[in-house]
Chains A and B, each alone.
Chain A
Amino acid sequence: MIFASADTSPTLSRRTMLAGSAAAAGAFTFGFAIPFAGEAMAQGAVKEINAWVVVHPDDKVVIRIARSEMGQGTLTGLAQLVAEELNCDWARVTTEYPTPGQNVARNRVWGNFSTGGSRGIRESHEYVRKGGAAARMMLIQAAATQWSVPAAECSAEKSVITHKASGRSLRYGQVAEAASKLEAPKDIPLKEPKDWMIAGKPLKRLDTVDKTNGAKIYGIDLKMPGMLNAAIKDCPVFGGKVKSFDAAKVKAMPGVTHVVPVGETAVAVVAETWWQAKTALDALPIEWDNGENAKVSSESIAAWLKEGLDAPEAVIGNQVGDAKGAIAKAARVVESVYSYPFQNHATMEPMNATARYTPERCEVWTPTQNGEAALAAASEASGLPIAKCEAYKIDLGGGFGRRGAVHDWVRQVVAIAKQIPGTPIKLVWSREEDMLHGRYHPVTQCKLTGGLDKDGNLTGLHMRISGQSIVAGIFPQNIQNGRDPAVFQGLNPPGPEASIGYGIPNLLIDHAMRNPHVPPGFWRGVNLNQNTIYLECFMDELAHAAGKDPLEFRRALMKNHPKHLAVLNAVAERAEWGKTLPAGVYRGICQTMGFGSYVAAVAEVSVSAEGKLKIHRIVAATDPGHAVNPAQIERQVEGSFVYGLSAALHGECTVKDGRMVEENFDTYTVLRLDEMPVVETVIVPSGGFWGGVGEPTIAVAAPAVFNAIFAATGKRVRSVPLKNMDLRKA
C-alpha cells in the first residue's frame, strides 16, 4: 500500500542499535503455550536452518511467520510459499511467530511485521520464498557433503534428499544439524510459479481445528498467575478529559483492588475478575471535561464537508486535459453528490492486552496487526527502551485495520500496569468502549460533474472529494503540502497501484481536506471503499444519461486499461450480462483496482413493493496476478462481501454532542446470515505481479448493489448506508 508503510519501522530501526539481546525468556515464566520462536529451539536437537525454517530430528518443519493471522489466512499462504521452495513434506509443517523484540535484535531479519493493506503475501513473497529455497540448498549441501558428492547431483522432495546415482537418501531431520552450520547461499534461484506443487493450490488452512473446539487462545483468554483484570472508560467525547472520579464509592465492591487514572482522559478499575472490574466501573462516578468538541454533530460535520465540495482550494490527485473546460462545452452535464459515513471496525474480539511492568522490563501480550508497533507503544508508554520491552503476538479475533497503525489499548494497559508493578494486568474493552473509541472509517463527500457530447461520450469528469484524511489523523508527518496521496486510492493515474480504470480525455480529481475531531483509521478496504462507490455509481448515472448499457459505456473508456477491462469482461461473462433475468430481478455492475489487484462484480437484486431489498447473487472476479491459495481467495472474496455489504446496507456511526451514538450491535447493525447472497468467485490470475486479496473486493460490494437497485427501482443510492433510504415505489 502506498501510505501505510509509514509505520513505526524507522523508529525501531534507529533503536536497533540499543537492543542488546533477544530476551524472549519472559513468556516462559507464565507457563502457557503461545507459539513464538525460541520455544522450538528450547530442545537442543531442533535446528534453525535460517530465520524462516526450523527442522526437527523427526522431520517436522516449523516455518516462521512475521505477519499476523487474523482470519485472512496469511499464515497458511506464507507457509505454502516457504514450503514450496523448501520441498518439504507439507503434512509435517507447523508455524510460529518470531517476536518483535527478536526481529529488532536480529537486525529485522524477518522484515516488516505490519499486516494491513493486503500486503502479507504481495510484499514478502520474494524474501520468504528465498528463505525456503536457501534452507533447501543448505540441507542438500549437508547431505552432499556427508556423501562426498556434488550438491548438483542431489535433489530433495518431501523432506527427503536423494543422490540418484548411488541410490542413497537422507531425511531433512538427519542433516538439519549439519545444514544449520553452513553459510547461507548467496545466489538463490526461485521456481517459476508454473512449477509450483504446494503454492498455487487450494490447500486447507493450517489453523482450523482449534477454532472448532474452544482450544484456540485469543488475547482475551489469557491467564497468568497473579493476574488482575481491568476495565476502562475513556472520555466518550473525543479530545475530552477526566475532571474527577470518586474511587471511594467503588473500592469496597467485590474483587476491586485498584481504581486508577489512565493518562488525562481515562479511568480504569482493576479487580480479581473482569466482570467485577466492569461492574465497579459502571458504578464509578466520573465527571468529564468534554471540551469544545461536545458541540460537534454529524450534521455540523456534514455541513462543513459540503462547503468543501465547492471550496476554491483543493489538492489535485489526478489531472488530464481541461476537465472544467470540457464540461463547460458539453452537450449535457450530469452532477451528483455522494457521501460516506463514519464506521467502526467492530472486530468480534474487543480490544485487549495483557501487560506486566517492572522498572527493569515491560512485556505485553496482545492481538496486533503489527507486533513492532505494539512493541514501540509498550516502550513509549513504559518509558523503557525497546531492549527492555517485548511484545508477544497472539492471533486476532478480527483486525480489519483497527489493530494495526494505532495501539491505544496497549498504551492504556501499560499505563495501568505501571501503577501496579510486577502484577500482570489484563485490560479488556467492553463492546461499548470499543464502539465509542474506534478509529473510524473516514467521513467524506464527493461531488461528481460529468460532461457528455451529443453522442453520449464522456468528454470531461470532475470529482471533488471533501473530507477526512486518515494519514493526517495517524501519520501527520506524511502529509506534505497539504496532500494525502492515499485519499485518491483507486483514482490514481495509470500505474501498478490503485489506478483508475478509465481513459477520460479531460479529468480532474481533487481533494479539499476537512478533518473533524473524530479519529480516523485504516478500515479494511480503506479509501478504495468510498472512491469506488463515488466513481462507479456515477459511471452508471452517466451511462443512463447517455442512454447506453452500463457495461458498454465502461468498455468504451477502458481500451488502454486491459487488466481492468479483463476482470470486467470476466465478471460480465460469468454473470451472463445482457441475458434475460427472472421477472423482478435486476443487475448492477462495477469494477475497481487497489491493493495491487483488479476486481469487478455483478449483483442481482430485487426490491419488493414494500421496499425490501433482496440480493440474490453476486458474481465477483479477481485478478491478483499470482494466486497463492485459490480456496483462500474465495474465502476472502466471500468475506469481503459480508464486510462490504454490512457497510453498504447498515454501517453508520452517528456523532451527537461530540461522541458516538451507537454503542453495540443492537444499534450498529451488521450483515447476518439471512441477508447473505450467493457469491460466485471467478479467479483470473494473469501472472507477472502480486496483488492482495483481503481488501479490494470490499469496494465493489456497494456499487454493484446500488447500481442494481437503480435498475430495479429508478432510485439512486448516493448516501451510505442504505438503511436510511426508502426504497418503496413513490
Chain B
Amino acid sequence: MAKLSINGKVLDVAVDGDTPLLWVIREQIGLTGTKYGCGVAQCGACTVHIDGVATRSCALPVSAVSAEQKIVTIEGLSPDGSHPVQKAWIAHDVPQCGYCQSGMIMAAAALLQANPKPSEADIANEMTNICRCGTYTRVKAAILDVAASGTLGRG
C-alpha cells in the first residue's frame, strides 16, 4: 500500500513497494502520458516532477516517495495544455512520433523553472532525454523561446 500525491490529488494505491513509480502511475493510477522507454533511467521518457524536480520514474521504487512529496505528470502540468512549454512545443511543431515528448516537456519545464534563462550549453547539459525521431533542434528552439518570453521561473 502506498499513499501518493499526484497532480494535486492524494491517492491510496495497493501495490508492492518495490514497483517503480512509473508503473504505479501507468497501471494503478491509469495515467499513460508518462512513458516507458528503457527502465534504467537512461532515456527520460518517464520523466515526472517530484517537488518540482525532473525525476526519471522508471527506476524509482514507489516506496521511496512519500505522500508529502508532490508528483506532477504531463497530465497535471497544466489544466488545459497552456503551460508555456506546451505552447512553445505547439508553436514549433516539436513532436514527430511524440512518444518521448511527455518526458521531454517535463524535463524542459523543470529546467526553465530552475533556470529561466538557460544558455545553449545549459540546455545541452540538462536536456539528456533521448528522441529517436530527432527533434532536438526544435526542442532547443522551443526552450529558448520560452526563456526569451520570460514567462517561467523566479527570474
A631–B99 CA distance with the chains assembled, in angstroms: 20
The answer, yes or no, to whether A71 is at the interface (CB within 8 Å) is: yes
* A665 & B32 in contact (Cβ 8 Å cutoff): no
Q: Does A214 have its Cβ within 8 Å of any Cβ on chain B? A: yes
User: Which residues of A sit under 8 angstroms from B33, Cβ to Cβ?
Assistant: 213-216
CB pair B86 A348 closer than 8 Å:
no
Complex: chain A residue closest to B95, CB-CB: A211
Chain B positions within 8 Å of A208 at CB level: 89-90, 93-95
Cβ proximity bits A468-505 to B, threshold 8 Å, 1 near / 0 not: 00000000000000000000000000000000000000
- Chain A nearest CB from B50 CB (Å) reads 17
Q: Which residue of B lies closest to A646 (CB)?
A: B132
Kindly identify which residue among A70, A223, A275, A431 contacts B97, using a CB–CB cutoff of 8 Å. Answer: A70
Contacts of A432 in B (CB 8 A): 39
Residues A639 and B30 in contact in the complex (CB < 8 Å), given A212-B101, A664-B42, A673-B124:
no
**A212: contacting residue among B73, B81, B129, B136, CB under 8 A:** B81
Residue of A72, A210, A350, A676 most packed against chain B (CB within 10 A): A676
Q: How far is the CA of A505 from the CA of B105 in the complex (A)?
A: 54
- Determine the distance from Cα of A398 to Cα of B27 in the docked complex, in whole angstroms: 22
Q: A641-B134, A643-B134 are in contact. Are A398 and B40 (CB under 8 A)?
A: no
Query: Cα distance A664–B133 when bound, in Å?
Result: 18
**Minimum CB distance partner of A345 in chain B:** B132
Closest to B101 in A: A211
Q: Which residue on B lies nearest to A681, using beta carbons?
A: B137
- B71-111 vs A, CB cutoff 8 Å, 1 = contact: the mask equals 00111011001000010011001111111111001000000
**Residue contact B27 to A275, C-beta cutoff 8 Å:** yes
A396 contacts partner chain B, Cβ-Cβ < 8 Å? yes
Q: Using A213-B81, A638-B137, A664-B42 as known contacts, say yes or no to A673 and B128 having CB atoms under 8 A apart.
A: yes
Cβ A642 vs Cβ B36 within 8 A? no
Q: Does B70 contact A (CB under 8 A)?
A: no
Taking a contact as CB atoms closer than 8 A, the residue among A213, A274, A399, A673 that contacts B136 in the complex is A673
With a CB–CB cut-off of 8 A, which chain B residues contact A20? none
Given contacts A275-B19, A348-B100, A665-B43, contact A676 B137 (CB under 8 A): yes
Q: Does A610 make an interface contact (CB < 8 A)?
A: no
Q: Contact at B132–A212, with CB atoms within 8 Å?
A: no
Is A666 close to B, CB under 8 A? yes
A221 to B99, CA, bound (A): 11
Within A181-222, which residues are at the interface with B (CB < 8 Å)? 204-205, 207-218, 220-221
Tell me, in angstroms, the Cα distance from A218 to B97 when the chains sit together: 10
Counting CB contacts under 8 A, is B57 at the interface? Answer: no
Is A670 engaged at the interface, CB distance under 8 Å to the other chain? yes
- Whether, in the assembled complex, A563 has its beta carbon less than 8 Å from a beta carbon of chain B, the answer is no
| Interface residue from B94, B102, B127 paired with A214 (Cβ < 8 Å) | B102
Bitwise interface map of B from 1 to 44 toward A, beta carbon under 8 Å scored 1, else 0: 00000000000000010011001001110111111111110110
Q: Considering only CB atoms and an 8 Å cut-off, how many residues of chain B contact the other chain?
A: 58
Contact B23 A275 (CB under 8 A): yes
**Hey, which chain A residues are within 8 Å of B105, CB to CB?**
212
Q: Does any Cβ of B come within 8 Å of A430's Cβ?
A: yes
A52 beta carbon closer than 8 Å to chain B: no
Query: Smallest CB–CB gap between B1 and chain A, Å?
Result: 13
Contact call B40/A348, Cβ cutoff below 8 A? no
Q: CB-CB < 8 A to A221: which residues of B?
A: 26, 32
A641–B137 Cα distance when bound, in Å, is 11
B residues less than 8 Å from A217 (CB atoms): 32
A386-426 contact mask (Cβ, 8 Å, vs B): 1 or 0: 00000000011111100000000000000000000000000
Q: Give chain A residues whose Cβ lies under 8 Å from the Cβ of B144.
A: none
Contact A666 B40 (CB under 8 A): yes
Known: A254-B16, A665-B130, A673-B124. A398 touches B97 (CB 8 A): yes
Do residues A670 and B130 form an inter-chain contact, with CB atoms below 8 A? yes
Instruction: Confirm or deny: A640 has a beta carbon within 8 angstroms of a beta carbon on chain B.
Output: yes
**Nearest chain B CB to A694's CB is how many angstroms away?**
10
Determine whether B115 belongs to the interface, using a CB cutoff of 8 Å to chain A: no
| A contact residues around B75 at 8 Å (CB) | 213-214
CA distance A681 to B51 in the complex (A): 41
Please measure, in the bound complex, the distance between the C-alpha atom of A72 and the C-alpha atom of B23, giving whole angstroms: 29
Question: Inside 8 A of B94's CB, which chain A residues have their CB?
Answer: 208, 212
Q: What are the residues of chain A within 8 A of B134 when measuring CB–CB? A: 638-643, 671
Closest B residue to A430 by CB, please name it: B39
Partner of A666, one of B30, B42, B86, B98: B42
Contact present for A431 and B38 (CB under 8 Å): yes
- From the candidates B35, B38, B93, name the one contacting A204 in the complex (CB within 8 A): B93
Contact of A348 with B93 in the complex, beta carbons under 8 Å: no
A254 CA to B105 CA in the complex, in Å? 34
Question: CA of A674 to CA of B121 in the docked complex: distance in angstroms?
Answer: 8
Q: How far is the CA of A592 from the CA of B123 in the complex (A)?
A: 33
Given that A274-B23, A348-B132 are known contacts, is A214 also in contact with B31, CB under 8 Å in the complex? yes
- How many angstroms from the CA of A665 to the CA of B39 in the assembled complex? 10
Residue on A nearest B92 in the bound complex, by CB: A208
A569 at the interface (CB under 8 A from B): no
Residue pair B37, A205 in contact (C-beta under 8 Å): no
Q: How far is the CA of A670 from the CA of B16 in the complex (A)?
A: 33
- Measured between beta carbons, the chain A residues less than 8 angstroms from B136 are 638, 642, 671-673, 676
CB distance from B34 to the nearest CB of A (A): 7
Of residues 646 through 672 on chain A, the ones whose CB sits less than 8 Å from some CB of chain B are 646, 664-666, 670-672
> Which chain B residue lies CB-closest to A217?
B32
When A398-B133, A676-B137 are in contact, do A348 and B43 touch as well, CB less than 8 Å? yes
Residues from chain A with a CB closer than 8 A to the CB of B139 are 673
Interface pair B93/A205, CB less than 8 Å apart: yes
Q: Which residue of B lies closest to A663 (CB)?
A: B40
Q: Is the CB of A273 within 8 A of B95?
A: no
Instruction: Given A275-B19, A348-B131, A673-B128, decide whether A212 and B42 contact each other with a Cβ distance below 8 A.
Output: no
Distance of A208 Cα from B99 Cα, bound (Å):
12
Any A CB within 8 A of the CB of B45: yes
Are A639 and B95 in contact (CB-based, < 8 A)? no
Instruction: Report which of B86, B90, B131 forms a contact with A642, defined as CB distance below 8 A.
Output: B131
CB proximity to B under 8 Å, residues A243-277: 254, 273-275
**A639-B140 contact given A214-B33, A214-B73, A673-B127, CB 8 Å threshold:** no
- Is the CB–CB distance between A273 and B23 below 8 Å? yes
| Given A211-B101, A400-B132, A350:B36 Cβ within 8 A | yes
Is B151's CB within 8 Å of the partner chain A?
no
* CB–CB B81/A635 < 8 A: no
Instruction: Please give the distance in Å from A118's CB to the nearest CB on chain B.
Output: 14
Does A664 contact B132, Cβ atoms closer than 8 Å? no
Q: Are A220 and B36 in contact (CB under 8 A)?
A: yes
User: Which one of B19, B93, B133 lies within 8 Å of A639 (CB-CB)?
Assistant: B133
A71 touching B96 in the complex, CB below 8 Å, given contacts A209-B81, A213-B33: yes
Please state if A213 and B86 are interface contacts (CB–CB under 8 Å): yes
| Distance, CA A690 to CA B145, complexed state (A) | 35
* Pair A212/B38 contact, Cβ less than 8 Å: no
- Contact indicator B96/A348 (Cβ below 8 Å): no
Cβ of B25 to closest chain A Cβ, rounded Å = 11
Q: Looking across the interface, which residue of chain A has its beta carbon closest to that of B45?
A: A348
Tell me, yes or no, whether B63 is within 8 Å of chain A by CB: no
Chain A interface residues (CB < 8 Å from chain B): 70-73, 204-205, 207-218, 220-221, 223, 229, 254, 273-275, 346-350, 395-400, 428, 430-432, 631, 635, 638-643, 646, 664-666, 670-674, 676, 678-679
**Can you sample 23 A-B contacts with CB below 8 Å?**
A208-B93, A209-B90, A214-B102, A216-B33, A217-B32, A223-B32, A347-B99, A348-B43, A348-B133, A398-B132, A400-B132, A431-B37, A431-B38, A431-B39, A635-B93, A635-B138, A638-B137, A638-B138, A643-B133, A646-B132, A672-B127, A674-B125, A676-B137
8 pairs of A and B residues whose beta carbons are closest in the complex: A214-B33, A642-B134, A71-B97, A211-B98, A639-B134, A397-B99, A71-B96, A214-B74
Add 11 more A-B contacts to A213-B81, A214-B73 (CB < 8 A). Answer: A73-B96, A209-B81, A210-B98, A216-B33, A638-B138, A643-B132, A643-B134, A646-B132, A672-B136, A673-B136, A674-B124
